[in-house]
Amino acid sequence: MNFKKILLTFTILFISANYSYSQRATAIEWKNLIYAIEEHESRHNETVKSGDGKYWRCLQISSVW
């Protein structure tokens, strides 16, 4: 790699690391995100399952075991 590509890579990594550090989500923002996902996936229905039975509950999460 030439010097410009290396410098550009480190610059992007530095900016993204600083941005993510300064933009940490608060607890209220996380609650709002989870609420929005539940609304989209299941309308907050705790007993819903997908058609194939793979995904379940209000967030439509699959089992990982």
pLDDT tens, residue by residue, 21-46: 555 667 787 888 888 888 888 888 88
**What token pair was written down for 26?**
């608060």
pTM of the model: 0.52
Q: How many CA atoms lie within 13 A of 26 on its CB side?
A: 2
- Residue whose tokens read 């990982």: 64
Tens-digit pLDDT profile for residues 5-21:
777 777 777 777 666 55
- The conformation of residue 54, written as its DSSP 8-state character, comes to S
Residue % of the chain over a pLDDT of 70: 75
